Chain A
Amino acid sequence: MSLLPDLKSPGVMGINSRNGNYIMRYNPRRLFPLVDDKLISKDLAVQNGLPVPELYGVIRMLHDIRKFDQIVESKEDFVLKPVHGSGGNGIMVIGGRSRDRYRTTTGKIVTRDEIAHHMENTLGGQFSLGGQPDQVLVEYRVKFDPVFDHVSYLGVPDIRIIVFKGVPVMAMIRLPTRSSDGKANLHMGGVGAGIDIRTGITTNAVVGTSPMHEHPDTGSPVVGLKIPHWDDMLEIASRCYEITGLGYLGVDLVLDAALGPLILEMNARPGLNIQIANAAGLLPRLHFLEALELDGMSVPDRIALGKEATNRDPREIARMAVA
């Protein structure tokens, strides 16, 4: 066994453990549509007073495509998104327009026809799991808070918080780079920076799996960043558990310059790279929480517990022992 690196003592969670011990145990299958269908989750959030980008309209079938012009008539910018998409695929972020020419935020010019074709493909299921027929939603384009401008290249950062039974246990901010093509996805070359749940300050950052301190394109430090509205974000994340009932949940948030934190999406199978970004395993925190009775606890208490759980890291325990 010693031939292999020791992932046990830092408490790293592997895919099998995530699927078998957490997703299968805490996320009932019947609840998956609540987060896999972006329309349902948006609806759910609005009903419960949680902030999301405003929905402008939905294209449900080919016939509806003609409604598109009407939907975006009065909008200068908007976002097209497959309702069942994942991994950022099929998302078109339009930042401006001049008659039937549209400009994406990455600077590409697309025609009205190209947009129509894109919507046809989306409806046909090109971006949905298993190629099932899909729908297109048109929503408010988030005007990203400029606080992250010096650590983002082109795209926009988003914040991922892992919530276990309503307790925020781990968080990171994903920063787009030139090589990730403006997308914040880590495996496309984006930067992931772990956020300390207790303070909302980034503590550690990686590109892929290798640690780094400065943004590869802008050169600004990515460690030691203070995330604004951190306590609001924790509260939103914790309440996402209440509205979905999913015990092991990933909540993606963005920071709008005017509206503050908005829920971009929720994920019932959140990825594991957040551990690399934090240089900490999930298991010590989860084991700590699994031993407690969390039912009926208030949101502030859950958040306090999340901060407490962070102290369960072997690294933290070692640090406290020294102090």
Chain B
Amino acid sequence: MNRRHTFVLAACLFLAGTSLFLYKARTLGLPLDGAQETEVWTMEAHVSFHRDSVGAAKAHLRIPENPFGYRIANENFVSRGYGLTVDERTTGRQALWAVRKVAGEQSLYYRLSVYADPTRKGSLPKPTFPKVPELEEPYYSAMMDLTSHVREQSADILTFTSALLRRLNDPTPEENVSLLRAEARTPMQRSKLAVTLLAGARIPAEIVQCVQLGEDRRTAEVLPILAVHNGDDWIYFDPQTGELGFPPNLFPWAWGSKPLIDVSGGRGDMVEFSVVRSLQPTMEIAQERAASLGSKIPEFSLLALPLRTQSVYGVIVMIPLGALLVVLLRNFIGIRTVGTFMPVLIAIAFRETQLLGGLMFFTLIIMVGLGIRAYLEHLRLLLVPRLASVLTVVVILMTLVSIASHRMGVDTGLSVALFPMVILTMMIERMSVTWEELGARDAITEGMGTMMTAVLIYLVMGVAVIRHVLFVFPELLLLILAATLLAGRYTGFRLTEYRRFKAMAAEQ
């Protein structure tokens, strides 16, 4: 009954902890590695044109709105005396620069930083069911002829599109194809042709104008990708190769074949793209993102606390893990320690004194402290005054060691804080009680067990990933609790008992 209860409780804690953890890690993208960085692409669109005489000028630039597969980290405009409005239309966002009086070479910039986010669906336009285009002869017949051929050799929209693209890109084209593609030389024109031909088969298709991403591109190309609607979803094709799927190194800048730039009052207008890749801490990005998703998690996380409090909690959330380790070492291995959670406290104290220095320092002071306590025993002091005397002696010792090591120039950063001192006194008192009750051997065994356990906990607490994960995902404490509960039901042998009862073991 109790057993089942424990298992059910542990399972519930496990589920609760894991699901919150998975939500934060998967959906919000909080990283498991604090040092992890995310690739951020900063794209710059440079709009340039020329105005011969002084007068008004206007430039429209189509800019990304809700790019699928990416999330916008930030954007900004360099306008130089132009008035700027950002126009959010149903056909996509536009930046509109306008100026009343200007002449000569004009340069305007739009800068955008994005990072990949596969969960982003973006806002894709609804497909419109196309009419069969009214082409002149002989193009109309060529189109109908070609589409009916392709249709015969395909089963559905996907296979139809790839068969059509294959024929359109055939190096030794059939007659219809050479006629149709005679005028379409650039990739953009080829894509437009594909859209027209697909419309001939009454298949909704659209062009996505994409910026090519790369390590460091001074001039990034704009490439068209063909989007075809299969009735449920948009599927993507490379119009030049017929390859299916949206290429990973392309950023979907704008839907439709409409030119990205439209300038009135100027000439020689063009837009050039450049791309810079950089790395930013995933943690920051994920938090911004979580906030932009409307999640309350960032507000209710430890990261929302003041920095000083955060650093304290960074230690506090490690304590349950240390306690679990103590449970495992004591109840599964059978290591004996002075006091139950003394090792956890010592491990925390090591954080302030550094491991090696702390270990030597602690051992020294405990040994001297035990000696002093044994001597005070002779003076027949009562318990509490005796404890207070030991504490005083520990303080004096620590002072001496600090001053001496500083004088000798071995200032190993032995920062002695208040906390370790109290722990030392407690440890000395407990050990001396054990010493009296069970003898020196037991006291030393326990002392060493405590130090070993403390070192292990200290090392585990020092693993950056564990610290980061517990701090960012404190819900994992529920998992630790679940594990501790289960460990509490362990009634099997401790490892050391195999030695203790060795004489009783059955022959194997």
A interface, CB within 8 angstroms of B: 2, 4-10, 12, 14-17, 19-21, 86-87, 89, 117, 120-121, 124-127, 131, 187-188, 206, 209-211, 275-276, 279-281, 314
Chain A residues with Cβ below 8 Å from B5 are none
B-chain residues with CB within 8 Å of residue A8 when the two chains form the complex: 506
A16 cross-chain contacts in B, Cβ below 8 A:
331, 490-494
B307 within 8 A of A: no
Known: A209-B503, A210-B503. A6 touches B497 (CB 8 A): no
Of the candidates B334, B382, B497, which one forms a contact with A7 in the assembled complex, judged by CB atoms under 8 Å apart? Answer: B497
Q: How far is the CA of A7 from the CA of B499 in the complex (A)?
A: 10
A276-B504 in contact (CB<8A): yes
B433 touches A7 (CB 8 A): no
Measured between beta carbons, the chain B residues less than 8 angstroms from A117 are: 380
For residue B508, CB closer than 8 A to chain A, the reply is: yes
Cβ–Cβ contact A281 & B494, under 8 A? no
Binds A, one of B21-29, B264-272, B356-364, B436-444: B436-444
Name 24 A/B residue pairs within 8 A (Cβ), A-sorted: A4-B498, A5-B508, A7-B498, A7-B504, A7-B506, A9-B506, A14-B492, A14-B494, A16-B331, A16-B493, A19-B491, A20-B490, A20-B491, A21-B491, A87-B437, A87-B438, A120-B380, A121-B380, A126-B433, A187-B438, A209-B501, A209-B502, A276-B500, A276-B501
Cα distance, A87 to B437, chains bound together (Å): 7
Q: How far is the CB of B390 from chain A (nearest CB, A)?
A: 13
With CB as the reference atom, state the residue of chain A lying closest to B508.
A6
Interface code B464-502, partner A: CB below 8 Å = 1, 0 otherwise? 000000000000000000000000111111100110111
Assess the A275–B437 pair: CB atoms within 8 A.
Answer: no
- B334: chain A residues at CB < 8 Å are 15
Contacts of A20 in B (CB 8 A): 488-491
> How far, in Å, is B483 (CB) from chain A's closest CB?
16
Not counting A7-B506, A19-B491, a sample of 19 additional A-B residue pairs whose C-beta atoms are within 8 angstroms of each other reads A5-B501, A5-B508, A7-B493, A7-B501, A8-B506, A12-B501, A14-B491, A16-B490, A20-B491, A89-B436, A121-B380, A125-B383, A126-B383, A131-B433, A187-B442, A209-B500, A209-B502, A209-B503, A210-B503
Closest to B495 in A: A4
- The tally of CB-CB contacts under 8 A between chains A and B is 95
Asked if B418 is at the interface of the complex by the 8 Å CB criterion, the answer is: no
Residue B505 lies at the interface, judged by CB distance under 8 Å to chain A: yes
Q: In the assembly, what is the distance between CA of A275 and CA of B500, in Å?
A: 11
**Contact yes or no, B382 A121, CB < 8 A:** yes
Tell me, yes or no, whether B384 is within 8 Å of chain A by CB: yes
A17 to B500, CA, bound (A): 15
Chain A nearest CB from B388 CB (Å) reads 13
> A12, B492: Cβ atoms under 8 Å?
no
Whether A188 contacts B439 in the complex (CB less than 8 A), given A12-B501, A276-B503, comes out as yes
Chain B contacts with A in 294-319, Cβ cutoff 8 A: none
Please state if B492 and A281 are interface contacts (CB–CB under 8 Å): no
Nearest-CB distance from B8 to chain A (Å)? 18
| Chain A residues positioned under 8 Å from B501 (CB to CB) | 5, 7, 12, 14, 209, 275-276
Q: How far is the CA of A281 from the CA of B503 in the complex (A)?
A: 12
- B153 CB to closest chain A CB (Å) equals 64
Kindly state the separation between the CA atoms of A127 and B382 in the bound complex, as whole angstroms.
13
| Cβ–Cβ contact A6 & B438, under 8 A | no
Q: Is the CB of A6 within 8 A of B383?
A: no
Q: In which size bucket is the chain B interface? A: 20 to 34
A195 CA to B380 CA in the complex, in Å? 42
Roughly how many angstroms separate A14 CA and B330 CA in the complex, as a whole number?
Answer: 13
Q: Which B residue sits closest to A281, measured CB to CB?
A: B504
A89 to B493, CA, bound (A): 29
In the A-B complex, the 10 residue pairs with the smallest Cβ-Cβ separation, listed nearest first, are: A5-B505, A124-B383, A20-B491, A14-B493, A17-B491, A9-B506, A117-B380, A6-B506, A16-B491, A14-B497
Once A89-B437, A124-B383, A187-B438 are accepted as A-B contacts, the answer to whether A279 and B504 lie under 8 Å apart by CB is yes
Within the complex, what minimum Cβ distance (angstroms) separates B481 from chain A?
A: 18
When distances are taken between beta carbons in the complex, the residues of chain A under 8 Å from B493 are: 7, 12, 14, 16-17
State A9–B382 Cα separation when bound (angstroms).
51
A124 CA / B386 CA spacing, docked (Å): 11
Kindly list chain B residues whose C-beta atoms are within 8 Å of the C-beta of A4: 498
In the bound complex, residues from chain A placing their C-beta under 8 Å from that of B502 are 5, 209
Say how far A127's CB is from chain B's closest CB, in angstroms. Answer: 8
Q: Which residue of B lies closest to A15 (CB)?
A: B494
Report the minimal beta-carbon distance from A190 to chain B, rounded to whole angstroms: 13
* B437:A17 contact, CB within 8 angstroms: no
Instruction: Return chain B residues, CB-CB under 8 Å to A188.
Output: 438-439
A131 to B500, CA, bound (A): 29
**How many angstroms between the C-alpha atoms of A197 and B506 in the bound complex?**
22
Q: Which residues of B contact A14 (CB under 8 A)?
A: 491-494, 497, 501
A14 CA to B332 CA in the complex, in Å?
Answer: 11
Contact B503 A10 (CB under 8 A): no
A10-B504 in contact (CB<8A) = yes
Per the bound structure, the CA–CA distance linking A6 and B503 in Å amounts to: 10
Query: How far apart are A18's CB and chain B's nearest CB, in angstroms?
Result: 9
A314–B507 Cα distance when bound, in Å, is 13
Which A residues touch B505, using CB under 8 A? 5-7, 10
Chain A residue with the shortest CB-CB distance to B382: A124
Q: Residues of B contacting A124 with CB < 8 Å? A: 382-384
Q: In the complex, which residues of chain A have a beta carbon less than 8 angstroms from the beta carbon of B436?
A: 89, 126
Contact partner, A10, options B438, B442, B506, Cβ 8 Å: B506
B69 → chain A, closest Cβ, in Å?
51
Q: Looking at the assembled complex, report how far the CB atom of B56 sits from the nearest CB atom of chain A, in whole angstroms.
A: 87
Which B residues lie within 8 Å of A280 (CB)?
504
Chain B residues 381 to 415 lying within 8 A of chain A, measured CB to CB, are: 382-384
> Is the beta-carbon distance between B503 and A131 smaller than 8 angstroms?
no
State the Cβ distance, A121 to closest chain B Cβ, in Å: 7
- Assess A275 versus B489: contact at CB under 8 Å? Given A89-B437, A125-B383, A187-B438: no
Contacts of B506 in A (CB 8 A): 5-10, 314
Interface centre among A120, A126, A206, A210 (most CB of B within 10 A): A126
**Are B498 and A5 interface neighbours, CB within 8 A?**
yes
Beta-carbon contacts of B115-139 to A below 8 Å, as 1s and 0s? 0000000000000000000000000
What residues of chain B lie closer than 8 Å to A121, measured between beta carbons? 380, 382-383
User: How far, in whole Å, are A100 and B438 apart by their CA atoms in the complex?
Assistant: 30
CA distance A311 to B373 in the complex (A): 52
Question: Distance in Å from the Cβ of A285 to the closest Cβ of chain B?
Answer: 14
Enumerate chain B residues within 8 angstroms of A12, measured Cβ to Cβ.
493, 497, 501, 504
Contacts of B500 in A (CB 8 A): 209, 276
Which residues from B are CB-within-8-Å of A125?
A: 383
Tell me the smallest distance from the CB of A126 to a CB of chain B, in Å: 6
Inter-chain CA distance A80–B384, complex, in Å, is 22
Inside 8 A of A279's CB, which chain B residues have their CB? 503-504
In the complex, what residues of B have CB within 8 A of residue A281's CB?
A: 504
**Residue in chain A with minimal CB distance to B503:** A209
Which residues of chain B are near A21, meaning CB under 8 Å?
491
Shortest A210–chain B CB gap in Å is: 7
Residues in A neighbouring B497, C-beta threshold 8 A: 7, 12, 14-15
Output the least CB separation between A260 and chain B (Å): 31
B3 nearest in chain A by CB position? A20
With a 10 A CB-CB cut-off, give which of A5, A19, A279 has the most chain B CB atoms. A5
Using Cβ atoms and an 8 Å threshold, which residues of chain B touch A187?
Answer: 438, 442
